[in-house]
Amino acid sequence: MKRAGVIVALALLAGCGTKPATEGALPADFVLNSTTIALPDEPVTLPASAEAVSLNCTACHSGEMILAQPPLNAEKWQAEIDKMRSVFKASIDPAQDPKLIAELIALQTAAPR
């Protein structure tokens, strides 16, 4: 491991130029241009009845992705929530699990496939 660290350090140093950079100086031809971009609209929104899902899941998952999940029973949704909590460190309050599972099941039965 020590040798790998030395190799990485040497690789980083190899990329350094021999001339010191003048702090804060930009090339004379450097120009900043403003531009606008159009972001796509969220094609799917979750219903108001899915409040726990919106609060706990949409920080990482889009509504479209949530609705595209295969139908799961309560036990499998619990396993998914547990995985999100343990593997991905999702800050889901365990007291919300029953409500969250009920909403996910309701969404999968209401979502057109």
Q: Going from the N-terminus, what domains does the chain have, and what CATH number goes with each? A: 41-113 (1.10.760.10)
Compute the C-alpha angle 48/52/54, nearest 5°. 65
What pLDDT does residue 13 have? 63
User: What pTM did the predictor assign?
Assistant: 0.60
What pLDDT does residue 40 have? 78
The pLDDT mean for the chain works out to: 84
Residues across the chain: 113
Show the tokens assigned to 14: 């190899």
Compute the C-alpha angle 72/77/79, nearest 5°. 125
